[in-house]
Amino acid sequence: MDYPVDVAILISYFVLIGGLFLRIQVPLKQCLQSKQFGSTLFIVGAFVSFLFTWYYMISYFVHSYNESDRVATNEPVSLNSISHWLHNVSLFDDAWRTVSNGNIQWLWSQQICMFTVGVWTPFLAIEGARRRIPYLWAFMVLGQVVAISTASALFFAVVLAFPPTDLAGPSRRLATTLFICVVGGMITVVVSPFVAISEEFLPNLLVMHILLVIPLLPSKPAIYNYTQQSIYVVGIYMLSAGASLSICVRQWILCFVETGSIYGTLISMVDIFFAHPAQSSISADVAWVHILCMVWMIVDRLSKIKNGTAIPLPVLALFFLTPILTVSVTMPMYLAYSEFTAASSKHHTS
C-alpha cells in the first residue's frame, strides 16, 4: 500500500464515530430505561435519519472514488487503489464546496448551517446545563461527523429522559461564551458562499465547526434567578430566528432571480437534491431536521399541557409554517415561546 497514512485517516474517522456513540451511551441508556414513548420515538427517528443520510454519504464515497483520475480504469478495488484515491482527494473540503457553490445549493445548505449554529448549539448548552446532561460536546461532534438530524434526534430523546432542575442552568460566563460563539458562527455562515471557490473556504468552515464545540465543553451549572435565565434564553433564540429569516429571505431572492419564479426554484431544489451525492446527503439531513423538529414541537408541548388542554395556536402555527419559513426560523421561535410560557407559569405560581 503506497499511502497508508491516508487510509489510516479514513479508518480513524469511523473509529471516532464509534467512540462518540460509546461516549454518549450513559445518557442513551437512561433514555431506554425511562421507557418514554417520546424518547423511543426520537431514537427510532435517529436511526431512520442515519440510514437516509448515510446512504447518500456512502454514495458520495463511491462517486468520489470512481471520479478519481488517479485510480486506473477497471482497476480492482484494493487497499492500494483506495490509498491512491484518498491521497489525491479532500473528501470534507470537496463535499462542502459542492454544497456551498451555487444559489440553489446554498439554499439547501444554509438551512442546516443556521440551524446548527443558531438553534442546536444554544439548545444543547442551555438544556444540557439545566438537566445536567453529560458529554454535550460529543452530541455536537457526532452531528458534525455523522448527521445533525441523527445527533439532534438522540439529544431530543435524552432531554425527555432527564428532568430539568430549576436551580441549574448556564452560568453567566457560559452565556457570554455561547453568545459570542453563536454570533461568530453566524458570521462564518454568511461568509461561506462568498469564499466557496477560494482558499479561505476551508479555514472558514473549520472556524465554524470549532466555535460550535466551545460552549459545550464541561462547565459547572450556575445557580441564579430563573427569570434572568429566561430573558437571556428568549433573547438568543429570537436573535437566531431573526438572523436566519434574513439570510433565508436573501437566498430565496437570489434563487428567484436565477430561476425566474417560485415554481422554478422549487423544481431546481428537487433537481439539485439528487444532482450530487454530497448534496443529497446534506439535503436529506435538512429534510430530516425539519421532520424531527416538527415532531419535537408537538411531543414537547404535549408533555407540558395538562387536563387535556389543546395544543396552543402559536405552536400549531409554527408547526405548519416550518416547511415554508424553514426550521432555522420556526424552531428558535418555538423554543423562545416555550421558555416564555414556562417563565410566566413559574412567576404566577411563585
Write down the pLDDT at residue 167: 60
For cell 424553514, name the residue: 326
Instruction: Kindly tell me the burial class for residue 123, based on how many C-beta atoms sit within 10 Å of its own C-beta (0-12, 13-18, 19 or more).
Output: buried
**CA pair distance 140, 152, nearest whole angstrom:** 8
Q: Where do runs of H (alpha helix) occur along 68-164?
A: 79-87, 91-100, 103-115, 121-131, 136-145, 148-161
Write down the pLDDT at residue 34: 80
Write down the pLDDT at residue 172: 79
What pTM does this model have?
0.93
The CB density around residue 200, as the number of other CB atoms within 10 Å, is 13
Overall size of the chain counted in residues? 350
What cell was used for 147?
448527521
Q: Where do runs of H (alpha helix) occur along the chain?
A: 4-23, 25-34, 37-67, 79-87, 91-100, 103-115, 121-131, 136-145, 148-161, 172-191, 201-213, 226-259, 262-273, 277-304, 313-325, 327-349
* Residues with Cβ within 8 Å of residue 80, at least 6 apart in sequence: 1, 2
Write down the pLDDT at residue 300: 93
Write down the pLDDT at residue 348: 52
Write down the pLDDT at residue 225: 61
Supply the range of the domain harboring residue 84: 4-349
Write down the pLDDT at residue 224: 57
Q: How many separate domains does the chain show?
A: 1
**CA pair distance 120, 151, nearest whole angstrom:** 10
Q: What does the pLDDT profile of the chain (350 residues) look like in tens digits?
A: 788 899 999 999 999 999 999 999 999 998 888 878 889 999 999 999 999 999 999 999 999 988 876 555 667 788 888 898 998 888 999 999 999 999 999 999 999 999 999 999 999 999 998 888 999 999 999 999 999 999 999 999 999 999 887 666 777 788 889 999 999 999 999 999 999 999 999 999 999 999 999 999 987 766 656 677 788 889 999 999 999 999 999 999 999 999 999 999 999 999 999 999 999 999 999 999 999 999 999 999 998 877 667 889 999 999 999 999 999 999 999 999 999 888 776 655 54
